[in-house]
Amino acid sequence: MDLVKQYIIQSIVMASNNLRLSSEKIEVVALLKNVIIKSNDLENDIRQMKKVTEFSRLAIKLYEIHNYLTQGHVNFPKVSDKFKEHCQYLIKELSYMLDMVTPVTFNQLLEKMYKPAEPEPEPDNKEKPIEVDLSNRAAVTLDVFEKPEEEKIKENLIFEEEKEDEEFFKQNFEASILKPIKKMELILKRLVMDDVEKDELTGYANLMKYNAEQSLKIGFEIIANMHTIFAKGLLLIKSKDLIPTHEVVEAMRACLIVIVAVVRSKEVDITGYLNKAEEFGRKIHTLKIKE
């Protein structure tokens, strides 16, 4: 990560530490950090944020910081004081943004922000292109490979079940996410005592990966990320590429704490647990899972 991104992210983190944040607002901060980390053109992305009402006030401040770092002459002996100054004037605008959005609306606003502009309608005097009805063409093509009715019914049932499973997960999100957590805690205790079978680790890792995928589909990125980190930790322990030391177990337990706090919208500060879990995720990111 380049210096400009690190500076801006640390400014946001320091500003957020001065606010009393709910678990939902912590997730929004994590999403904002992720946008900055993944940005390929940070200056342009901040410009785009300025056009979105909910982001605009914060984006204006971020743009000023970006300009300070890239356009002006940085006085390095005084950069620490300048950093504190930047953090201070981000607090108010960050608080305003966090009051305006939720994790779900944050992602929706991002989609809106990056949505390509609608093409301008062509003047009436221009010759209109010939339109081809591809749906009819597709229907003709499919008729050639028409499947037996029994097979079509079978495939429809398969896909319908998958759709119903996803809908069930959405409607029972809290219960679906929280149900395995106690078992995961027990697994962590047993890992320390080396009292876990390999097949158990695979099964629990697959369950956490499934919950991660479903959480991501409905916009809960931080919950999905915690599940993914925990699942990879289990698989690395299974392949003996990761030793379940006290530090490792505590980092994985931090993932579970963040999941529960965010799902239940607990009004507690979980920044320490979130940082520990994300740091663990960065450490194991490059490790390959052996089959």
For the chain, what percent of residues have pLDDT higher than 90?
19
Examine the fold and report which residue of 64, 89, 114 is the final residue of a domain before the chain moves on.
114
| Pair 109, 15 in one domain | yes
Is residue 284 over pLDDT 90? Answer: yes
Residues 96 and 185 placed together within one structural domain of the fold: no
Q: Which domain holds residue 280?
A: 176-284
Answer yes or no: do 180 and 110 share one domain: no
Q: pLDDT tens across 120-170, in order?
A: 455 554 544 434 344 443 443 334 344 454 455 444 444 444 444 555 555
* Average pLDDT, integer, range 16-45: 88
Within 13 Å and on the Cβ side, how many CA atoms surround 79? 14
For 67-97, how does the pLDDT look when each residue is reduced to its tens digit (9 = 90+)? Answer: 888 876 666 777 777 888 888 878 888 988 9
Distance of alpha carbon 188 from alpha carbon 163, whole angstroms: 33
In angstroms, the CA 188 to CA 233 distance is 11
Q: Which residue has the higher pLDDT, 14 or 268?
A: 14
Same domain? 106 vs 181: no
| Whole-number pLDDT of residue 221 | 84
C-alpha Rg value of the chain to the nearest Å: 24
In a domain, 119, yes or no: no
Report the pLDDT value the prediction gives residue 73, as an integer from 0 to 100. Answer: 67
**Residue 171: pLDDT over 90:** no
pLDDT at residue 254 in the model: 93
Tell me whether residue 71 is in a domain.
yes
What type of residue is 267? E
Judge whether 241 lies within some domain. yes
pLDDT tens-digit map of 204-236 = 999 999 999 888 887 788 889 999 999 999 999
Instruction: Mark whether 182 and 91 lie in a shared domain.
Output: no
Q: Encoding tokens for residue 259? A: 């999941």
Mean pLDDT within 59-63: 88
Eight-class DSSP state of 264: T
Q: Is residue 154 part of a domain?
A: no
**Averaged pLDDT for residues 23-41:** 89
Q: Does residue 183 share a domain with residue 96?
A: no
Residues 274 and 183 in one domain: yes
Q: How confident is the model at residue 63 (pLDDT cuts 50, 70, 90)?
A: confident
pTM for this structure?
A: 0.50
Q: How many structural domains is the chain composed of?
A: 2
Per-residue confidence (pLDDT) for residue 291, from 0 to 100: 59
Predicted local confidence at residue 252, as pLDDT: 95
Q: Mean pLDDT score of the chain, rounded to an integer?
A: 78
Helix axes 246-263, 221-238, angle to 10 degrees: 150
Domain boundary residue among 88, 114, 140?
Answer: 114
| Whole-angstrom distance, CA of residue 186 vs CA of residue 260 | 15
Residues 191 and 101 in one domain: no
Q: Is residue 136 part of a domain?
A: no
Q: Which of 64, 93, 114 is a domain's end point?
A: 114
Residue 190 belongs to some domain of the structure: yes
> What ranges in 172-291 are assigned the alpha helix state H?
173-178, 181-192, 198-217, 221-238, 246-263, 271-284
On whether both 7 and 110 belong to a single domain, the answer is: yes
Lowest mean pLDDT among 45-54, 179-188, 223-232: 45-54
Count other C-beta atoms under 10 Å from residue 19's C-beta. Answer: 16
Whether residues 103 and 190 share a domain: the answer is no
Per-residue confidence (pLDDT) for residue 232, from 0 to 100: 95
Cα separation, 262 vs 254, whole angstroms: 12
Asked whether residue 145 is assigned to any structural domain, the reply reads no
Residue 224 belongs to a domain: yes
CA distance 115 to 90: 27
